[in-house]
A and B are shown apart, each in its own frame.
Chain A
Amino acid sequence: MSLSHLDRLEAESIHIMREVVAECEKPVFLYSIGKDSSVMLHLAIKAFFPSRPPFPFLHIASGWDFRAMLEHRDRMARDLGMDLIVWHNEEAAAAGVNPFDTPTPTYTRLMLTEALTAALTAGGYDAAFGGGRRDEEKARAKERIFSFRTAQHRWDPKNQRPELWNLYNARKNRGESVRVFPLSNWTELDIWQYIQREGIPIVPLYLAAPRPTVVRDGTMLMVDDERMQLRPGEEVIERVIRFRTMGCYPLTGATESAATTLDDVIAEMAAARTSEREGRVIDRDQSASMERKKQEGYF
């Protein structure tokens, strides 16, 4: 019997998660609520069954997440009895940092990157699972599965540890940590096929439905709540849309789509001519933007 590519990817991811639990003192699961995180959550449940995943789940809430994401998060936490930690950069929010008035790189750094590194330091975690995939972006394609971070959470792309076979070196000195990417070898299509095969619950925004939208700078945004600041001349129009990635609603582009089922989504992907990160305003601001953010500690 030959294993399918999804069986192999699943087995590899489970092996990675078990290695972390066996070799690290205090792992944490970065739960971003998106499709990759949802697959990783499902894999964590499988990896340790019949035990529960022996680590807490951390959500970095920017304060501008889609409401549907937060509902999904709370439902999953309740249904699975997960140990959920929500972290928010209160200080920056109180100082008025928001996605409309603050330049995007600054907003991202304060609400996502710095919030994340602060949460990791506060928790004393020595390993953090992230849902990054190597097919997402060029800098990610270069990253190890066990990606070493200095005590300042920085990544040194030119000096990565050699990673051979499936032997992972999780050793580190006090204060240093590893980011672990169990989905490194998955592609976006693998993720969707696996969600379908396993019946994994996802945020409904991934499927098309009529939603209130505005088009800004060529990006279609969803008006998720009353805090959305409309510019002069902008008009809220209901369109049938869906999202390929999740994040802060004022910074996440939607696509017009008729894909209301997983089958439709997979068919649409096969015909897609743009990458999933296209909808991310935060990645477009600077060349080599992801590499720079990763060096600073972003996932």
Chain B
Amino acid sequence: MDLLRFITCGSVDDGKSTLIGRLLYDSKLIFDDQLAALEADSRRVGTQGEDIDFALLVDGLSAEREQGITIDVAYRFFATPHRKFIVADTPGHEQYTRNMVTGASTADAAVILVDARKGMLTQTRRHSFLAKLIGIRHFVLAVNKMDLVDYDRLAFDSIVADYMVFARDAGVAEFTAIPLSGLKGDNVMERSAALPWYEGPSLLEHLEQLPVDDAAAARGPFRLPVQWVNRPNQGFRGFSGLIAEGMVKPGDSVRVLPSGRTTQVSRVVTYDGDLESAQAGQSVTLTLADEVDCSRGSVIAAADSPPEAADQFEADLVWMAEDPLLPGRGYWLKLGTQTVTSTVQPPKYEVNVNTQEQLAAKTLGLNGIGVVELATDAPLVFEPYASSRTLGGFILIDKISHATVGCGMLHFALRRAQNIHWQAIEISREAHARQKGQKPAVIWLTGLSGAGKSTIANLVEKKLYQLGKHSFLLDGDNVRHGLNRDLGFTEADRIENIRRVGEVAKLMADAGLIVITAFISPFRAEREMVRAMLPEGEFIEVFVDAPLAEAERRDVKGLYAKARAGQLKNFTGIDSPYEAPEHPQIRVDTTVMSAEEAAESIVREVLARG
């Protein structure tokens, strides 16, 4: 018996849950006690009068039952004598599109439901496009509720014609259209006498004979992403993982990436004994003939056709978080068993899923889909998503909330990075610093508007100057008017602002200077980004701490008043967050210290560092 995974998707009220309930009911997978509960629920909250409301069988969360909608993907199981099925019932409502993508990512086939009375809707197009994007090959257009249009052939034909036009534009190569009624059971399990003009298979007959893709994976070149190094004792070192593609047997030549070393497979170890060969879809442990560098994140691959490694890519990106994509911010990127830091460029374009139009976009919001370029801080072993879901599909994880914020499909590697060679610099940064007789540093003042950053920064620079130190002060005034003139105050622009300031500060530190910066720099992630640009110990984070109420009371520039009046958007502390440093090197409490005292303590602290 083999296994087929499919999704059902469509708009609100297209009857997905009802159809699945019907499949379970007709395949005798609803037990008497569940049926009794269902009958009771149907009478109490159902929408089908005296009849059973099958949707109540699948909508498992109380919020779903109350609102009569599907919120989250639900997995359901049934089997025929020939095949086991896993159905992901995915929500139709737009705000739960990310849950639909979750269901689609593991599916072999998509059943797209359309209400025969309504025809194609925005969500039908969106879901078909998403299913195509995520690489589903088999499409079924299920024209549901045929009972409500008197099983009218013209209604069916007209929807099929509409879908065909859409499918061609969306790149859906082929689909099978089936007229049915989930509520009445027509053409669900068996062909219905109510639809004599339809000569194709019933939905289940069709799903039973669809080819499953696993055999294809076994034919590709061998790839095993290493999950875990298995070392029970000094005498055994094995590499455990799920074979993503191809086959392997002892004696095979393999290349371990990213190191690129070649060796041979010694044994294919399992609890049930060593295997003579193993194939895609099996979880095994390999031992290798040589002691090569191999650990979690490595990929063991066929020596004669290894995958590439690169650090810049073009990819499709689906955004799944309430907070929009912040270009330039570092996110964790997980692909296979590799996790790296990745930054995303502003999208090349966003796709309108209804028209496939390419729209200009600066970011992606919840459920936004676009094509982006991204860079990683270490090379990724990858393949285009079209040839490998495992080595081409990735998720992005927010570094602070740890939420999964996006998913993507790699197209190809960008070659640019390889063509920029660092100019060999003969006067080293150490030489620059030595000449000035000081240790370079970036004194990074962060805090709310009105906390006193600029005042303190100016005093710090004066004191350093008096001590004969070489310094430079970067603040909003000399940066915003020139280098960053093109940036506003949205979250994305603030990040770019800080990134540029960080890069400039780094160059100045390379030149041997002590750089003082005075920016609100509200986000922890960006301050950490600047810290990571500099050698250990050269980034000195100074938290100019003033309670919001106090800063607002001072309101030197009258900005808080404007923000409160709604005349100033994205103002930190009012309608944009400030993430205070958790472990600043220096904290200046402005409620007890004067600006003079604060500057004095900062200078003392910095010079004590050498």
| Contacts from A to B (Cβ < 8 Å) | 1-5, 7-8, 10-12, 14-15, 18-19, 21-22, 45-52, 134-135, 137-142, 157-158, 160-167, 169, 171-173, 176, 184-185, 187, 189-190, 272-275, 277-278, 287-288, 291
Contact = CB atoms under 8 A, between A and B. Distances in A.
A47 B271 CA distance: 8
Contacts of B332: 171
Contact of B63 (A48, A141, A158): A158
A51 B231 CA distance: 7
B31 A272 contact: yes
Given A3-B281, A45-B271, A165 B99 contact: no
B402 A22 contact: no
A164 B61 contact: no
A11 B227 contact: no
A165 B105 contact: yes
Contact of B2 (A2, A139, A190): A2
A5 B215 contact: no
In the complex, the 6 A-B pairs of residues with the closest C-beta atoms, listed nearest first: A138-B60, A14-B283, A171-B402, A51-B232, A49-B271, A164-B105
Interface in B145-168: none
Given A51-B232, A291-B61, 10 more contacts: A2-B214, A10-B283, A15-B227, A49-B285, A167-B336, A169-B334, A185-B86, A187-B77, A190-B84, A273-B32
B390 interface: yes
A287 B57 CA distance: 13
B337 interface: yes
B74 A164 contact: no
Interface stretch (B393-401, B439-447, B483-491): B393-401
A172 B271 CA distance: 32
Q: Which of A12, A47, A157, A171 has the most chain B CB atoms inside 10 A of its CB?
A: A171
A11 B102 CA distance: 20
B227 A274 contact: no
B242 A11 contact: yes
Contact of B282 (A3, A47, A189, A275): A3
A157 B59 CA distance: 12
B1 A4 contact: yes
Contacts of A187: 77, 79, 84
A3 B279 CA distance: 9
Nearest to B247: A1
A19 B72 contact: no
Interface in B32-75: 32-34, 57-63, 65, 71-75
B278 to A, nearest CB: 10
B341 interface: no
B334 A167 contact: yes
Contacts of B269: 49-50
27 contacts: A5-B1, A8-B214, A10-B283, A12-B242, A14-B242, A19-B227, A47-B240, A47-B283, A49-B269, A51-B230, A134-B75, A135-B76, A141-B58, A142-B72, A142-B74, A157-B63, A162-B98, A162-B102, A164-B404, A164-B407, A166-B242, A167-B393, A172-B402, A176-B402, A187-B77, A187-B84, A288-B62
B236 interface: yes
A147 B44 CA distance: 31
B403 interface: yes
B402 A15 contact: no
A158 B230 contact: no
A167 B31 contact: no
A5 B404 contact: no
A11 to B, nearest CB: 4
A134 B31 contact: no
B151 to A, nearest CB: 32
Given A51-B231, A134-B77, A166-B242, A158 B334 contact: no
B264 interface: no
Contacts of B131: none
A165 B232 CA distance: 30
Contacts of B320: 162
B410 interface: no
Interface residues of B, number: 71
Q: Which of A14, A18, A139, A162: most chain B Cβ within 10 A?
A: A162
B585 interface: no
Contact of B227 (A22, A157, A287): A22
Contacts of A15: 227, 241-242, 283
A48 B236 CA distance: 13
Contacts of A12: 242, 283
A169 B397 contact: yes
Contacts of B218: 1
Nearest to A9: B3
A161 B63 CA distance: 18
B63 A5 contact: no
Contacts of B296: 22
Contact of A1 (B31, B271, B279, B337): B279
Contacts of B242: 11-12, 14-15, 166
A162 B101 contact: yes
A275 B37 CA distance: 12
B263 interface: no
B2 A141 contact: no
B106 interface: yes
Given A2-B2, A185-B86, A164 B395 contact: yes
B281 A7 contact: yes
B27 interface: no
A1 to B, nearest CB: 7
Contact of B3 (A8, A14, A166, A171): A8
B230 A164 contact: no
A10 B1 CA distance: 14
Contacts of A291: 60-62
Contact of A18 (B1, B240, B395): B240
A275 B30 CA distance: 8
Given A15-B283, A184-B75, A165 B403 contact: no
A201 to B, nearest CB: 15
Instruction: Report which residue of B2, B60, B332 has the largest number of chain A beta carbons within 10 angstroms of its beta carbon.
Output: B60
Interface in B228-242: 228, 230-232, 236, 238, 240-242
B37 to A, nearest CB: 9
Contacts of A8: 3, 214, 281
A162 B393 CA distance: 14
Nearest to A276: B31
Contact of A275 (B31, B63, B86, B395): B31
Given A7-B281, A50-B232, A141-B60, A158 B98 contact: no
B271 A46 contact: yes
A3 B332 CA distance: 34
Nearest to B89: A141
A139 B60 contact: yes
B428 interface: no
B493 to A, nearest CB: 27
B512 to A, nearest CB: 39
A12 B214 CA distance: 14
B244 to A, nearest CB: 10
A272 B32 CA distance: 9
B305 interface: no
Interface in B399-452: 402-404, 407
Nearest to B59: A138
B270 interface: yes
Contacts of B285: 49
A50 B236 contact: yes
B360 to A, nearest CB: 26
